[in-house]
Structure 1
Amino acid sequence: MVKPTGRRGVPRGPPNPGSLPTDAAVRGGTPGSAAAYPDRVPTSPTPVPAVATVAVLLAAGAGTRLGRGPKALLPHRGGTLVAHVTRVLLAGGCDIVVVVLGAEAERVRAGSGIDDPRVRIVDNPGWSSGMASSLRVGVVAALDLAPARVVVAHVDQPGVVPDDVARLLAAHRPGRVTASRWTTSPARRARHEGRSEAENDPQVVFGVGRTPRWAHPLVLDAALAAPAAASAHGDHGARDFLRTHADLIDVVDHAGDGRDLDTDADLDLLDPADR
């Protein structure tokens, strides 16, 4: 079989990349591919592939109680706290992390040290109204990626490790919420909170036999993420939604230290070299 030839007997090949129309290059078509010449093939929308898990990392606070500026920029393990928690979420099985910034957003963005294509950073201009607004901003950005589920995490929980996240994801069932329950020893919790051990008994703190006390991180089925965020107000996050839909919640116990880093008494959560 004789190949078709050009004017001088030269076999015809794919077009020279330099001869591609400018608009074809803008569309991202590979030279010689159908994508470069959309008018030659049937056109139809290309569906965006869904990801399994998107985490929303709430990191918008000013760190007023701690008095050291935004907690996202606290030094921890050779970097920043926000970069560390982001790595924990990714290592635990999240496909993408949406980081929500607020207070001093430009400075936090520039100094975060985050350089990972799996991380999206979004700003919440209304961060000062409370955590609820950051949750809504983060959930909207997360749902744009069409995930099956959304993890909600806080930047001020340095004690969370990848295994905690992995266990939450493994336990999660479609259509439900999976929340953390931290079983830090009563003695340690008592020392931290200045209470007696009896007052810090896990049955009291976590409401065994009554409504459980839920904590972050938590996993929401994607269909529940929007109504949970919509119900949030002030600094209460999705607490009202969780109480109203307690029958949808599964709890995973963690043996680590899930305290929030709020005051100087919590600085032991940070790496000793960074305190």
Structure 2
Amino acid sequence: MTGEPTPAGGRHTEGGHETATAPSPGTAPPRVAGLLLAAGGGRRLGGRPKALLPYRGRPLVEHAADMLREGGCDPVYVVLGAARERVRETARPAGCVLVDNPDWERGMGTSLRTGLAALPRDGADAALVSLVDQPGIGAQVVARVRAAYRSPATLAAAAYEGRRGHPVLLGAAHWEGAARSARQDAGARAYLRAHHRALTLVECADLADPSDIDTPGDLHRLR
């Protein structure tokens, strides 16, 4: 689910980003669950689990989970993998459901499948999928992408100057297909490509820096 150029046919809205429409009177607000993928072992960081990287005086996973909650996601599920016992002992992502992915070493696709399988089928209309290693993405981005929800068939993603990125909003109708297509480190990339005509891109370059933390040269983004 890494960012990539916008495929032909991806839908943009006037002004470069989605804007929410007011719900009809008597309509219940959508239930959008947050799904934070935080299982990475930081192989290119010398084996430092990304969830435990220090950010503003606390583990990065706490910050990332808080951004989902502050952006309107409820409940929030956090998928753990590398050093998951240490993450459980050290980090305190408040009000979150922690899910273990024993196959995390096989790639992010396994974390996406694990997380989607854990979500309550009768307790959420959509899942907003975010990555733990993008500290520049905050609650405003989460809220803007969440506002793109229209129905369980909604498929949306943040875009940064036209490049698709995270977070990604998967209406419940897409969970099974996205999980089935998830492979290695590609996450839902293949699924989003195959369904690009249904995909709404939500421009967020005015709100965030989507750069991730992959190598020692990226650690400056945590300061």
Letter of the 2:187 counterpart: G
Q: 1:182: which partner in 2?
A: 160
Q: What runs of 5+ residues in structure 1 fail to find an aligned partner?
A: 1-49, 184-205, 207-212
Cα deviation for residue 77 of structure 1 reads: 1.3
- RMSD over aligned CA atoms reads 1.6
Q: 1:169 aligns with which of 133, 139, 146?
A: 146
Q: For the residues of structure 2 that align with 1:120 and 1:65, how far apart are their CA atoms?
A: 28
Cα deviation for residue 264 of structure 1 reads: 2.1
Q: 1:267 aligns with which of 215, 219, 223?
A: 219
Letter of the 1:214 counterpart: R
Q: 1:235: which partner in 2?
A: 185
Q: 2:46: which partner in 1?
A: 67
**Greater strand fraction, Structure 1 or Structure 2:** 2
Deviations 1:83-128 (A, max 9, x none): 00000110001011110011111011111122x23x0001011111
Greater shift, 84-93 or 169-178, is seen at: 169-178
TM-score, normalised via structure 2 length: 0.82
Greater shift, 154-163 or 248-257, is seen at: 248-257
Q: Secondary structure at the match of 1:160?
A: coil
Contact 1:182 1:254 in 2 (8 A): yes
Contact 1:51 1:145 in 2 (8 A): no
Cα deviation for residue 172 of structure 1 reads: 2.5
Q: For the residues of structure 2 that align with 1:51 and 1:72, how far apart are their CA atoms?
A: 29
Moved over 6 A (4+): none
Letter of the 2:173 counterpart: A
Q: 1:258 aligns with which of 180, 187, 210?
A: 210
Cα deviation for residue 173 of structure 1 reads: 2.3
Deviations 1:235-255 (A, max 9, x none): 111111111111110001112
Bigger Rg, structure 1 or 2: 1
Change (3 A) 1:165 1:105: same
Q: For the residues of structure 1 that align with 2:57 and 2:49, how far apart are their CA atoms?
A: 17
Percent same amino acid among aligned pairs? 45
In the TM superposition, what are the counterparts of 1:1-275 in structure 2 within 5 Å?
52-67=31-46, 69-114=48-93, 116-117=94-95, 119-144=96-121, 146-174=123-151, 175-183=153-161, 206=162, 213-255=163-205, 256-270=208-222, 272=223
Q: Secondary structure at the match of 1:265?
A: helix
Q: For the residues of structure 2 that align with 1:73 and 1:159, how far apart are their CA atoms?
A: 16
TM-score, normalised via structure 1 length: 0.67
Higher relative contact order (CA 8 A, sep 6+): 2
Aligned pairs, how many? 192
Contact 2:36 2:78 in 1 (8 A): yes
Cα deviation for residue 223 of structure 1 reads: 1.1
Q: Secondary structure at the match of 2:123?
A: coil
Letter of the 2:156 counterpart: T
Q: What runs of 5+ residues in structure 2 fail to find an aligned partner?
A: 1-28
